[in-house]
Amino acid sequence: MAAVEATVAPGGGSCSPGGGGSVPVLFCFSVFARPSSVPHGAGYELLIQKFLSLYGDQIDMHRKFVVQLFAEEWSQYIDLPKGFLVSERCKVRLVPLQIQMTTLGNLTPSSTVFFCCDMQERFRPAIKYFGDIISVGQRLLQGARLLGIPVIVTEQYPKGLGSTVQEIDLTGAKLVLPKTKFSMVLPEVEAALAEIPGVRSVVLFGVETHVCIQQTALELIGRGLEVHIVADATSSRSMMDRMFALERLARTGIIVTTSEAILLQLVADKEHPKFKEIQNLIKASAPESGLLSKV
């Protein structure tokens, strides 16, 4: 893994690109993607300089980063190979080393929080598959109680849109908060997260996928948290809005997954003391719908 301090001096480095003109490169950072170009044969140092010229006002100069290259062979980003030189059109990204790269996607109860977003009565007639996402949401909250995972719940303008539906049991929730902002990331939520030691991952579900879920997820990753969106527990009025939101979020590095995958990843082992209860929960309440076919 090639890590770099963000304080690379402009014009520094030992790379001396040869002739051959410029090569188009897509430079990605956080939720942004900006096309540019570098000289043919440009190496690591010139890529870093280009990142700084494109995103310098957004990069924390005291952090360390890793540069990654999108590999068509693997259909995902890989760490920039040693001695890499740009010879053809490519896509690179700058990733803050805020968590160990090897832990990406892993969930443990001690470092996870569940976010339940706006599962309210007035949305019932408008949201596609609302009954299914209520059922799955309730299963997730039961799992959270079994595993001792904190739960944060929001309600969008409850005075006009009603409270969380009765089917969702909020017993033991760390926070139930009204809001008017679309994102769940409110000062009270940030304060609650600060009280939870070692929190690294947020499991996010609710409505609507393309509005409150999307804006919440983008704010959370912007704060260095890993986000898992539960596809079978989030929906919108329009399946097209939902589909494009999930595609966009997945491209930013957010993990789109399912409730069963989340719960079994959290127990991790058949010998886990809560495995049987989680297994029974999954067996008893898995709805069969067309929701996942719309991802």
Q: Which residues carry out catalysis?
A: 118, 179, 212
Q: Give CA–CA dist 137/119, Å, rounded.
A: 9
Residue type, 224: G
Tokens standing for 236? Answer: 């919108």
Neighbouring residues of 280: CB distance < 8 A, sequence distance ≥ 6: none
DSSP string for 30-60: TTEEEEEEEETT--HHHHHHHHHHHHTTTS-
Residue spans of alpha helices (H) in the chain: 44-55, 130-147, 158-161, 187-194, 214-222, 239-251, 259-267, 275-284
What is residue 122's DSSP assignment?
G
